[in-house]
Amino acid sequence: MQPLPDGSYEAMVVEVSPPAEGRGARLELALLDGEHKGDVVHVRSPGLDPDDLSLLGRVARVTVVAGVPGVRLDQR
């Protein structure tokens, strides 16, 4: 998988699962706009519960800076 270029992307959470190791949750996010629309990116968030199904369908903002992604979930 190619790294996502630096930028800001609107996304939707399509999967929440435990990470392979460590704490938190592994999120799969479908990008909703731009050149990479439809691509799915995987990120790990140490502060989320992998059993929290209310995360599914939430809109998020993925921001990539110097190749490092960050995710901010929109508040409901």
* 1 pLDDT higher than 80: no
How many structural domains compose the chain? 1
pTM of the model: 0.87
In a domain, 31, yes or no: yes
- Residue-range definition of the domain harbouring residue 24: 7-73
Residue 2 belongs to a domain? no
Q: Is the pLDDT of residue 46 over 60?
A: yes
- Report the pLDDT averaged over residues 3-20: 94
Write out pLDDT tens, residues 50-71: 999 999 999 999 999 998 989 9
Strands (E), the chain: 7-17, 25-31, 40-45, 59-65, 68-73
Q: Quickly state the pLDDT bin for 3 (edges 50, 70, 90).
A: confident
Q: Give the CATH number for residue 45.
A: 2.40.50
CA-based torsion, 20, 61, 12, 34: positive or negative: negative
Residue 1 within a domain: no
